[in-house]
Amino acid sequence: MRWPMVILSKKSAGLLILSVMGMLMFSVFWQGSSAVVSHFGGQHVVMLDPGHGGYDPGTITNQGVYEKEINLQIAQKVREMLGPSGIKVLLTRDEDIDYVPNGVKGKQTKKQTDLNRRIEMAKEAQADVFVSLHVNATASGKQSGAESFYHYRSESGKSLAEFIQQELIKITGMNRRIAKPGDFYVINNSSMPAVIVEVGYLSSPKERQKLQQSWYQEQLSRAIAKGIANYFEAHN
């Protein structure tokens, strides 16, 4: 069947282009604000922990990409996206620092000292949840995708990890992993529901490129923010 050809005038074509651009802009703004659909009136406190920092860079790639920098960039974006919800969001660090006093020696001792201070900060703030952000890496470089972990005895931690993971797997091209129990110091020693979110793999060349891009960090941040908001919505 031959469909009739429609020829638009320059004015009509211009209006059509403007209309399409307007719809695209609306879509972008709507997606950006969709991380938070409820207002919680300041009744919840989130401690976001950008993993590593200071002396501890986390994973460093041969290309000079630092995990600690990506962790902080995403944490700051999550805080911004949760802001309109009324959820109080605190960061364990807002710059490239650690919490190891001068004179502390030994890799394990320094790491534990740093993590203990971050856990204590969440306790002092009376945070409802503790969310620690990281980027993964493996020797093979074959793995990719975001993962969320919780303490196996924490039902609330499991629920939080599941809400976050459910949003992360909605990102185009993301592996469809499920939240699972993990053995990590911060979730083993936190007094509130705590999760580890590994936003991707720096060892994956394709994912490494995306993780450095602001647009992809915003997708990850939106998913994490929406997962946290959904958790509070479900537990109100």
Dihedral sign from CA coordinates of 222, 224, 229, 231: positive
DSSP string, 106-166: SHHHHHHHHHHHHHHHHHHTT-SEEEEEEEE--SS----S-EEEE-TT-HHHHHHHHHHHH
Distance (Å, whole) CA 220 – CA 77:
9
Let me know if residue 75 belongs to a domain: yes
The percent of residues in the chain predicted with pLDDT above 70, rounded, is 84
Q: What is the CATH number of the domain that holds 45?
A: 3.40.630.40
Distance (Å, whole) CA 38 – CA 86:
9
Q: What is the pLDDT of residue 25?
A: 38
How does DSSP classify residue 106? S
Q: What is the pLDDT of residue 36?
A: 59
Given a cut of 90, whether residue 17 has pLDDT beyond it is: no
- Structural domains in the chain (count): 1
Let me know if residue 3 belongs to a domain: no
Nearest to 68 by CA among 114, 102, 1: 114
Let me know if residue 190 belongs to a domain: yes
Let me know if residue 6 belongs to a domain: no
How does DSSP classify residue 66? B
Let me know if residue 168 belongs to a domain: yes
How does DSSP classify residue 204? S
Q: Any idea which of 2-6, 109-113, 190-194, 217-221 has the lowest mean pLDDT?
A: 2-6
Given a cut of 80, whether residue 60 has pLDDT beyond it is: yes
Q: State the average pLDDT over residues 170-190.
A: 97
User: What does pTM read for this prediction?
Assistant: 0.85
Q: What's the token pair of residue 225?
A: 């923010």
CB 30 within 8 A of CB 113: no
Q: State the average pLDDT over residues 57-85.
A: 97
Instruction: Give 158: exposed, middle or buried? Use CB within 10 Å, 0-12, 13-18, 19+.
Output: buried
Neighbours of 217 (CB within 10 A): 19
Torsion, Cα of 235, 90, 77, 199 (10° steps): -70
* pLDDT level of residue 130 (50, 70, 90 thresholds): very high
- Structural domain range at position 41: 12-234
Q: What is the pLDDT of residue 62?
A: 93
Q: State the average pLDDT over residues 50-54.
A: 98
Let me know if residue 60 belongs to a domain: yes
Write the CB contacts of 18 (distance below 8 Å, at least 6 apart in sequence).
Answer: none
Let me know if residue 5 belongs to a domain: no
Neighbours of 26 (CB within 10 A): 10
Residues in the chain: 236
Let me know if residue 67 belongs to a domain: yes
CB 121 within 8 A of CB 47: yes
